[in-house]
Amino acid sequence: MRYVVGYTANARGHDAVHLAVALARNHDVSLDLVLVIPEDSPFNAVYPPEAGYNDILNEQAQRWLDEGLALVPADVTARAHIRRGDSEARTLIDAAVEMDAAALVIGATNDGLFKRFTIGSVASSLLHSSPVPVALAPHGYRRTEPITRLSCGFGMRPGADELLDVAVESARDRGLPLRLVSLLALDGGNSPQLLDAAWMHAADRLAAVGSSVDADGSADATAAGSLQGEPEIVVAQGRTIEEAVDRLDWEDGEILLIGSSRLAQQRATFLGTTANRILRALPVPMIVVPRDYTRQSS
C-alpha cells in the first residue's frame, strides 16, 4: 500500500510527513513524497526561463525533498518525486492515481492555532475532487507514533453506511479500537429524544454491518477478532458543533474519519452542521473519504 504525501518545504509539509509516518507505521505502507513545481508556461513569472533555470529549480526541489525524507524514520519506506504542474491539487491527484495510492496526506495551512485546521486552497480543491481519501494534519502536528484509535463521524444522512463500512474494515485491519461519533448542536438545551435516536441509529447500523460481514464471509474470524473490543458509540452535544467537539475526549494518537459528500457540497457532514465548523474545532487529524469509495486492502 502507498500513500502520496503532498510535500512543501515549510511547516505544512513537515506536518504532512509526520502524519503519514504515523499512519504508515505497523501497517506495511510506503510513502511517496511529491513536491509540485511550476510548469513552463507563458503565465509563469519567469518565462521563457533563462538558461539553466530549470536545472537550478530541480536542484533546489531535490534539496527540499531530501529534507522531507530526513523526517521519515528508518522503519518506514519513503521515496521522493518532483512533479511539474500549474495546479498543485490536480498534480497531486494525478500522482496518487498513477501510483495507485490508498490516500493523499497533506497539512493544513500555517496560520492554524492550537492544533486546529485552517484549510487553504490546495486542501479545499482536494476535498472537492480527490478520488482517494485525503488525510489532513492539523497545524503543528508532530506525532509519528502509530495511530491508537479510529473515530468515525456518523450521522443519518445518505452515505453514512458506506463510511461505516470503511471505518470498520480499517479498524479491523489495523487492530484499533473504533468509536462512532455523532454531534448534535442544540441551541435550546438538552434533547434526550434526539440523543437516544442518534445512539440507536448508530447501534442499528453497526449491528447491520456486522451481520452483513458474517453473512457474506468477507471477513474471517481472525480479521473480525482484530478489532480491539466492541465499538464505542458516543453522542456529543453542545450549543454549537464546536462546543460538542470540544466536549469529546480525544487521544493524542486518534484520527477522525468523515465522509466527503457533504463537505464537497458545503453542506452538513454530521447532524445538521457544516464540516468546516467541525474542522475549526477538531484537535486531531482527519481523513475525508470520497462518496462510494471502495477501500484498498492491505
Q: Please tell me which of 26-40, 218-232, 253-267 the model is most confident about, judged by mean pLDDT.
A: 26-40
Look up residue 286 and give its three cell numbers: 482527519
The residue whose grid cell reads 457544516 is 274
Q: Which residue has the higher pLDDT, 290 or 119?
A: 290
Which residue in 103, 101, 100, 31 sits closest to 260, CA to CA? 103
pLDDT at 267 over 50: no
Looking at residue 145, its pLDDT comes to 96
pLDDT at 268 over 50: no
Which run of H or E residues covers position 264? helix 261-264
Read off the pLDDT band of 257 (50, 70, 90): very high
Region of residue 93 (phi > 0: left; psi between -120 and 50: alpha; otherwise: beta): alpha
Average pLDDT, the chain: 79
Q: Per-residue pLDDT averaged across 83-101, rounded? A: 93
Helix (H, G, I), strand (E, B) or coil at 237: strand
Looking at residue 156, its pLDDT comes to 65
User: Is 107 in contact with 12 (CB distance < 8 Å)?
Assistant: yes
Looking at residue 285, its pLDDT comes to 94
C-alpha span between 51 and 173 (Å, rounded): 52
pTM: predicted TM-score of the whole model, two decimal places: 0.84
32 half-sphere exposure, CB direction, 13 A CA radius:
21
Q: Which residue has the higher pLDDT, 282 or 198?
A: 282
Question: Taken in order 246, 249, 255, 256, is the CA torsion positive or negative?
Answer: negative
Looking at residue 291, its pLDDT comes to 73
User: Is 257 in contact with 141 (CB distance < 8 Å)?
Assistant: no
- pLDDT tens digits, one per residue of 127-185: 778 888 999 999 889 999 999 999 998 876 656 777 888 898 899 888 999 999 887 76
Sheet harboring 254-259: ordered strands across? 78-84, 30-37, 2-6, 103-107, 134-137, 286-289, 254-259, 149-153, 178-185, 232-238
- pLDDT tens digits, one per residue of 77-90: 999 999 999 889 99
